[in-house]
Amino acid sequence: MRTSPMLEHLMEALRCLPGVGPKSAQRMAFHLLQRDRKGGLQLADALSKAMTEIGHCKECRTFTEEDVCNICNNPKRCENGLLCVVESPADIAALEATGQYSGRYFVLMGHLSPLDGIGPSDIGLDVLDFRLQRGDVTEVILATNPTVEGEATAHYIGELCREHGVSASRIAHGVPMGGELELVDGTTLSHSLLGRQKLS
Please tell me whether residue 69 binds its own copies under the rule CB under 8 A: yes
Q: How far apart are CA 31 and CA 29, in angstroms?
A: 5
Among 24, 113, 169, 192, binds its own copies (CB under 8 A): 24
Binding its own copies (rule: CB under 8 A), the pick from 84, 89, 125, 154 is 89
Sole window of 33-41, 117-125, 141-149, 188-196 interacting with its own copies (rule: CB under 8 A): 33-41
Rounded to whole angstroms, the Cα distance separating 97 from 71 reads 14
4 in contact with its own copies (CB under 8 A) = yes
Report helix, strand or coil for 139: strand
Number of residues that bind its own copies (CB under 8 A): 61
Name the segment binding its own copies (CB under 8 A); options: 36-44, 139-147, 153-161, 184-192: 36-44
Residue 26 is a binding residue for its own copies (CB under 8 A): yes
Question: For its own copies, which residue of 67, 79, 96, 116 counts as binding (CB under 8 A)?
Answer: 96
- Candidates 131, 56, 43; CA nearest to 89 is 56
CB of 89 to its own copies, least distance (A): 6
Cβ neighbours for 195, distance < 8 A, ≥ 6 positions apart: 172, 173, 174
Q: Are 63 and 54 in contact (CB under 8 A)?
A: yes
Identity at 82, one-letter amino acid code:
L
Listed ranges 64-72, 78-86, 111-119, 123-131: which one lies at the site for its own copies (CB under 8 A): 64-72
- Cα dihedral: 114, 142, 187, 182 (round 10): -140
Sequence-distant (6+) residues with CB within 8 A of 18 are none
| 145 counts as binding its own copies under rule CB under 8 A | no
* Interface with its own copies (CB under 8 A): 1-7, 9-10, 12-14, 16-19, 24, 26-34, 36-37, 39-54, 57, 62-66, 69-71, 74, 88-90, 92-93, 96, 109
